[in-house]
Amino acid sequence: MKLIQSTSIAAVISAAALFSCKPKSTGSAVSGDAAAKAYVAPGKYDEFYNFVSGGFSGQMSVYGLPSGRLLRVIPVFSVDPEKGWGYSEETKPMLNTSHGFVPWDDLHHTEMSQTNGEIDGKWVFANGNNTPRLARIDLKTFKTAEIIELPNSAGNHSSPYGTENSEYIVAGTRFSVPSDEDNGDVPINSYKKNFKGHISFVSVAKETGEMKVAFQLKTPGVNFDLARAGKGKSHGWFFFSCYNTEQASTLLEVNASQKDKDFIMAVNWKKAEEYIKAGKGKKVKTKYAHNTWNEATHTATSKMEEEVLVLDVKEFKDIVYFIPCPKSPHGCDVDPTGEYIVGSGKLAALIPVFSFDKIQQSIAAKSYDGDYEGIPVIKYESALYGEVKKPGLGPLHTEFDGRGNAYTSFFVSSEVVKWNIKDLKVLDRVPTYYSVGHLSIPGGNTKKPNGKYLVAYNKITKDRYLPTGPELAQSAQLYDISGDKMQLILDYPTIGEPHYAQSAPADIIRNNGQLKLYKLSDNKHPYVTQGEANAKVTREGNKVHVYMTSIRSHFAPDNIEGIKVGDEVYFHVTNLEQDWDVPHGFAIKGADNAELLIMPGETTTLKWLPKKPGMFPMYCTDFCSALHQEMQGYIRVSPAGSNVPLSFSLGKPVPETK
C-alpha cells in the first residue's frame, strides 16, 4: 500500500528552521532560590547518580544530582589512557570485534537494569552506535564488565532498551544492510531487494548479568531510530520508531522525508519468544565478538560467536505490526502505566499519542490500512488516543514524572514542554540553551518515576560559557519539576556529546555491595605476584616477564638489567595494597602505550617494546603517599645480542656488569 506522499520535505517547518531557533532571553533565567536547590554542601552526598552518555567520546560519565558534580568517566567503547583501558593487555580483548581491535565508538544511550519495572541499581547498559555493540557496566565496580557485538546490524542506534525485569536488552539497527550470511557486495541501488533490518533480543542472566543474543527479528529494510519496551499492561510488547520507510539510500534528508507518515513498529516479543522456544528460529551463519571481564583473573576474554537465531517476521503473522506516525519519528516513549505510546516526529508540529488498548482492539478487528512488505499497517485513527496540538517545533524525546505529565524536548524551538497525558493539554514550557536533544527524569522511563528533577541535554552552548575556540562544550541543564512550573536551577558542561542519560537514587547503588578493593588472596591472574618475595624477572626467548609488585612507596623489583632491543617486555604489576582508594600507577619512558592504573589487589600488564639501548626510568603515576615521588626505578636496555645477564633487585644495586 502507499501512504500519502507530500512533495515538499516539510509543510510545517521551513528548511531554515531545522537548524533550530534561539530562545529570546539568553541571559540568566535562574531565579533567587535556584542555587540553593542545586546546592550540595561540601562533604555531603548527592541524591542521585546520573549516568550520561558520552556520545562521540565513546565513554559514559557519572554525575551527582542535583549538584552536577562529575564523579567519574567510565571507559566503555573507547580507549582511555587515564585508566589504561584498551592499553593494558588485560583490557584489550574488551574492544575486540569481528573487525579486529576497534578502539572507539559513539555511545548514545544508557539504560539501567530493572526489577518489576523499577531501577534496581545492578547494571547500566550502553550502545555502541558505529561498530554495533552493547555494553554492560557493573555498578558494584563502575567498570565495563561485558561487551557483545551485534550481528546483521549497522549503526546500533535504537538501543539499548530493557524490558521491565531486564529479561532482554533490545537493540534495533539504524542502517538496514544485507544480512551477514549474504554477500554484502551488491549494488547500493538494490536496496529494496537486498537490505534488511534486524532487531536483536539480548537476554540478560538474572544473577550474573551475562548477555547473549537470544534471537533476532528480520524486518523490512527501514531505519530504526529509538524504542521502548512496554510495561505493566503492555509488558510483552516493544515499540520502535522507524524512518526512511521510503527505503532511500541517498540524500536521505530529502528522500527519506517524502512520506507524511513513517511508522512505529509494535512487536509482540512474547509471541516471538514462543516461536523461538518452538524451534522456529533459523540458525544464520555470522561472526560477532563476545567479550567478558573476569573479576577473578582481572582479565578480559574475547570469544567469536558463529551463529545467531533469526525469525523472519514476514513468516509469522502475529509478531509485528506497523502504526503510521507523522514525519520521521525519533523518540518513541511509553508512559509509566504502559497504556500510552508517544511518537515524536522530528518534522511534525503535533505529538501523536497511541493507546495500547486501541492497538490491541485494532489487531483483533483487523483494522488495517493494507500492509508494508507483508506486515499489517494498523489504521492511524484506530490506534490513536489523541494528538497534542501545537506543542512546539521538532519534538524529539519524552519522559514522564509519574504524576500524569509528560515532558517533551523540542530541538528546533529549544524548549521543554510539559503536557498532561490524559487531556493532552500543554501545561508549561521553558527554554533550553540551546537545541535540546534528550531529557532525563530519574526513573522517567520506568513504572515509578521520581518526578523531582529533569535534566535537558543540549547540543549547542554558544554564549553560555567562556568560549574555547571552534569547539564548544555541550551541556546539561537541571530543572526542578516538583511544582506546577518548571524551574531552571543549574547549567553545566558535559564530557562528549550527551544523548540520553538515566539516574538512580544514590542509596540503591551506594548501599548495594560497592566494591572497595580486590582481595589479594582471591587474585587468580596467571601472572599474579603474591608478595614482594615472589617478585622476579624471567625470560623465554625474546619474551621477558616482569612479576612486579607495588606498595607504598616502591616497586619490586625497581632495578632491572639484561633487557635487550628486540625484546617484548611484559610488566605484570600486582598492587599489594588492601586499602580502599590506594591505586598505584605505572609508566615507563618511551612506551608506545598508556599508563597502567592498578587497583588494590589487582594485577595489570603493560607491554613494552624497547627500541633503543639506554636507561629507561619508570615511575608510579598516582600520588599514593608522601613518598610517591620516590616510587620509581630504572630499566637498563642493551643492544640486541648483548651479554648483559638478566638481573633484578630491590634495595641494593644489581651487581655491576659491563
Least Å from the CB of residue 278 to ligand K7E: 35
Q: Is 157 in the site for ligand K7E (CB under 6 A)?
A: yes
Q: Which of 310, 631, 635, 637 binds ligand CUA (CB under 6 A)?
A: 631
Q: Which of 109, 261, 447, 564 binds ligand K7E (CB under 6 A)?
A: 109
Choose the one of ligand CUA, ligand K7E, none that binds residue 622, judging by a C-beta under 5 to 8 angstroms depending on kind. ligand CUA
What residues numbered 363-402 form the site for ligand K7E, per CB under 6 A? 396-397
* Residue reference for cell 612506551: 591
Q: Which residue is nearest to ligand K7E (CB)?
A: 437
Q: Which is nearer to ligand K7E, 174 or 298 (CB)?
A: 174
C-alpha cell belonging to residue 190: 538494490
List beta partners, residue 608. Answer: 569
Three-state DSSP class for 627?
Answer: coil
Q: Is 620 in the site for ligand CUA (CB under 6 A)?
A: yes
Distance CA 436, CA 416 (A): 8
Rg (CA), the chain: 27
547-574 b/e with 16+ CB inside 10 Å = b? Answer: bbbbbbbbbbbbbbbbbbbebebbbbbb
Distance CA 82, CA 80 (A): 5
C-beta separation of 323 from 263 below 8 A: yes
Choices 210-218, 360-368, 472-480, 623-631; region in contact with ligand CUA by CB under 6 A: 623-631
Q: Within 10 Å of residue 287's Cβ, how many Cβ atoms?
A: 15
Q: Is 598 in the site for ligand CUA (CB under 6 A)?
A: no
Least Å from the CB of residue 54 to ligand K7E: 12
DSSP annotation of 277 reads: H
List beta partners, residue 537. Answer: 546
Q: Is the peptide bond before 613 cis (omega within 30 degrees of 0)?
A: no
* Residue reference for cell 528546533: 412
Q: Which is nearer to ligand K7E, 130 or 550 (CB)?
A: 130
Least Å from the CB of residue 553 to ligand CUA: 6
Distance CA 447, CA 449 (A): 6
Q: Is 628 in the site for ligand CUA (CB under 6 A)?
A: yes
Q: Which is nearer to ligand CUA, 126 or 599 (CB)?
A: 599
Q: Is 224 in the site for ligand K7E (CB under 6 A)?
A: no
Q: Is 624 in the site for ligand CUA (CB under 6 A)?
A: yes
Choose the one of ligand K7E, ligand CUA, none that binds residue 620, judging by a C-beta under 5 to 8 angstroms depending on kind. ligand CUA
Least Å from the CB of residue 358 to ligand K7E: 27
Choose the one of ligand K7E, ligand CUA, none that binds residue 327, judging by a C-beta under 5 to 8 angstroms depending on kind. none
Q: Which is nearer to ligand K7E, 92 or 499 (CB)?
A: 499
Distance CA 323, CA 262 (A): 8
Choose the one of ligand CUA, ligand K7E, none that binds residue 624, judging by a C-beta under 5 to 8 angstroms depending on kind. ligand CUA
Closest CA to 317 of 381, 367, 272, 382: 272
Choices 219-227, 372-380, 593-601, 621-629; region in contact with ligand CUA by CB under 6 A: 621-629
What mask of x and - would describe binding to ligand K7E in positions 428 to 447, judged by CB under 6 A?
---------xx---------
Q: Which H or E run includes 520?
A: none
Distance CA 158, CA 236 (A): 18
Choose the one of ligand CUA, ligand K7E, none that binds residue 584, judging by a C-beta under 5 to 8 angstroms depending on kind. ligand CUA
Q: Which of 312, 387, 568, 622 binds ligand CUA (CB under 6 A)?
A: 622
Least Å from the CB of residue 226 to ligand K7E: 6
Three-state DSSP class for 262?
Answer: strand
What mask of x and - would describe binding to ligand K7E in positions 484 to 523, judged by CB under 6 A?
---------------xx-----------------------
Distance CA 493, CA 478 (A): 11
Q: Which is nearer to ligand K7E, 126 or 598 (CB)?
A: 126
Q: Is 532 in the site for ligand CUA (CB under 6 A)?
A: no
Q: Is 633 in the site for ligand CUA (CB under 6 A)?
A: no
Distance CA 629, CA 619 (A): 8
Least Å from the CB of residue 596 to ligand CUA: 11
Choices 77-85, 264-272, 305-313, 618-626; region in contact with ligand CUA by CB under 6 A: 618-626
Closest CA to 457 of 472, 476, 434: 476
Distance CA 178, CA 195 (A): 5
What residues numbered 305-334 form the site for ligand K7E, per CB under 6 A? 330
Q: Is 573 in the site for ligand CUA (CB under 6 A)?
A: no
Q: Which is nearer to ligand CUA, 260 or 622 (CB)?
A: 622
Least Å from the CB of residue 576 to ligand CUA: 11
Q: How many residues bind ligand K7E (CB under 6 A)?
A: 11
C-beta separation of 573 from 595 below 8 A: no
User: Taking CA 216 as the corner, what is the angle to CA 211 and CA 222, rounded to the nearest 5 degrees?
Assistant: 125
User: Taking CA 522 as the corner, what is the angle to CA 291 and CA 91, rounded to the nearest 5 degrees?
Assistant: 25
Least Å from the CB of residue 538 to ligand CUA: 24
Q: Which is nearer to ligand CUA, 108 or 572 (CB)?
A: 572
For 10-51, the three-class secondary structure string (H helix, E strand, C coil) is: CCCCCHHHHHCCCCCCCCCCCCCCHHHHHCCCCCCCCCEEEE
Q: What residues contact residue 561 under an 8 Å CB cut-off, 6+ apart?
A: 635, 636, 638, 644, 645, 646, 647, 648, 654, 657
Tell me which amino acid residue 481 is.
I
Q: Within 10 Å of residue 207's Cβ, how many Cβ atoms?
A: 6
Q: Which is nearer to ligand CUA, 452 or 628 (CB)?
A: 628
Choices 43-51, 376-384, 517-525, 619-627; region in contact with ligand CUA by CB under 6 A: 619-627
Phi, psi of 277 (to 5 degrees): -65, -30
- Binding footprint of ligand CUA on the chain (CB under 6 A): 550, 553, 584, 620, 622-624, 628, 631
Q: Please give the residue ranges that form the binding site for ligand K7E (CB under 6 A).
A: 108-109, 157, 226, 330, 396-397, 437-438, 499-500
